[in-house]
Amino acid sequence: MTDYHGAAPLPVASRGSDPADPTETSPAFSDPGLVVLADFMRAVIRDEVNTAFATDFATEGAVCRKAYPHDPREDLLESNYLPALFCWRGSIDPKRFGDKGLDGTESTVQCFWVFPPADELAMTQMAPVLHGIAAALVKAIEAGNGRHPAYVVTGDTDPFAADYGSSILDHGGFWVVDFDGDFRFSEVRIGAAEPLQAIFWQLKVREHHVPGVPDDRGDAIHLTIDQPGDDPIFSQEIWEPTDGESVSGFTDGFSSGFR
């Protein structure tokens, strides 16, 4: 039996090796949900903003070359990896969710989209990309309820994934992903280089602790959650036991929520 906190197994699993493709997001130790968020936002930004960004600014490569699951101020990467997305957990608040009788956490996930080095004129012209990135992410996270056609996880059996995209609630193990505050300009210093311009925003995510998942079900941790509107597209499945399968440690109210 394995416990899960969101998408993360307990005991903590090895982070695994870095992907062979250097443009893919590296694993984050003990935090697969953070990688899902980073991959999702990178896919959305590239799909919604990349074509116009490359045309207007004659950039070589993507509007978001790579996503990194850590604070950019802890990095020593070269500027040719930019523009890039950085995501990390700024805080984790343990919670008892009274509405479901569940233990879990609410975390803030802080995000920087870092501009490539540019002269003053180029920065003036690039600055309005703030609106494009914000609009694209609001479309996907708020209006799309954590789905976007550009983000489809290989092997996803969700019947809606092909048309609407894979759910970050499902694959990231989240019950809630919301924006927390505004999009705004900032500066970051990466290594010893001069400060770089960046766009900053923050998410609030909610994850629950799910005890006692059978080890042979670890690749399908499913509990059905009905999202607002009762639209089946917006149903998240984290783990659903089969008939007659019991789960130790759950309250009666929680167990009765299975369907």
- For the CA atoms of 11, 27, 172, 206, what is the dihedral angle to 10 degrees? 70
User: pTM value?
Assistant: 0.81
The reported pLDDT for the residue numbered 189 is: 78
Contact status, residue 169 vs residue 138, Cβ threshold 8 Å: no
Contact status, residue 68 vs residue 85, Cβ threshold 8 Å: yes
pLDDT-derived band at 78 (thresholds 50, 70, 90) equals: low
Q: 103-126 burial by CB neighbour count: b if 16+ within 10 A, else e?
A: ebbbbbbbbbbbbbebeeeeeeeb
Q: What is the pLDDT of residues 204-231, one digit of tens each?
A: 999 998 887 766 554 444 444 344 444 4
Using the predicted structure, report yes or no on whether residue 87 has a pLDDT greater than 60: yes
Q: Enumerate residues 6+ apart whose C-beta is below 8 A from 220.
A: 239
The reported pLDDT for the residue numbered 185 is: 92
Give the mean model confidence (pLDDT) for residues 232-242.
41
Q: What is the pLDDT of residues 3-57, one digit of tens each?
A: 888 999 888 988 888 888 877 888 899 999 999 999 999 999 999 998 888 888 7
Residue of 42 and 75 predicted with greater confidence: 42
